[in-house]
A and B are shown apart, each in its own frame.
Chain A
Amino acid sequence: EAAVTQSPRNKVTVTGGNVTLSCRQTNSHNYMYWYRQDTGHGLRLIHYSYGAGNLQIGDVPDGYKATRTTQEDFFLLLELASPSQTSLYFCASSDGTGVYAEQFFGPGTRLTVL
């Protein structure tokens, strides 16, 4: 089964702070995704990537950058964090092929911006 890990699991920062969320997958998947989860919205796609060096914009990209340094590693960057970015962040990976292209999710990172 695909393994997706995220770090840190919890993070508290202040408004204007610089935050990096990390995601690593060990199943050789091409696609990786960053979602945020908020009450009343479900999960919403921030950015995704289909390989090292590639980045695609998702549905709620404002205030977020991302970088895919290797096939395994995908980072989400908040350079000037704001309270509106307080959320639960999930990373996922998928091979992007096949009928279902099932996504495997990490355990989540809870970010609080004071």
Chain B
Amino acid sequence: GEQVEQRPPHLSVREGDSAVIICTYTDPNSYYFFWYKQEPGAGLQLLMKVFSSTEINEGQGFTVLLNKKDKQLSLNLTAAHPGDSAVYFCAVQAYQGGRALIFGTGTTVSVSP
């Protein structure tokens, strides 16, 4: 079945710096991709969803890039601020299997002033 590798497990950055998290998946039948943010003691907050190959989506302070050719999904935090400190998960969804999500192992991001 699908496997999702997420790197790095930890990121420490200074406020204003950028940070990149990369997920690599294995199943070419995976069609839909998500990034979630989990703040301490909280549930999962959807940051971005992406579908098309080589799609770039921009949100509030971050950019998501999907490269289906290389089976890679990335999240780029631009100009990080302390409010970005959280655990970030990528998730991959196939059209089969009840549309369940396969998650990466998570990246803990710490942003210091």
A binding-site residues for B, Cβ under 8 Å: 31, 33, 35, 39-45, 48, 50, 56, 58-59, 90, 92, 94, 96, 99-103, 105-108
Contact = CB atoms under 8 A, between A and B. Distances in A.
Contacts, number: 60
A105 B42 CA distance: 11
B99 A42 contact: no
Given A102-B46, A107-B42, A96 B98 contact: yes
Interface stretch (B56-64, B72-80, B100-108): B100-108
20 contacts: A31-B98, A33-B100, A33-B101, A35-B103, A40-B9, A42-B4, A42-B6, A42-B103, A42-B106, A45-B101, A58-B100, A59-B1, A92-B101, A96-B99, A99-B32, A101-B93, A102-B49, A103-B101, A106-B43, A108-B43
Contact of A50 (B42, B89, B98, B105): B98
Nearest to A44: B103
A90 B44 contact: yes
A92 B46 CA distance: 12
Given A43-B101, A102-B46, 9 more contacts: A31-B99, A35-B103, A40-B105, A42-B4, A45-B100, A99-B32, A100-B93, A101-B93, A108-B43
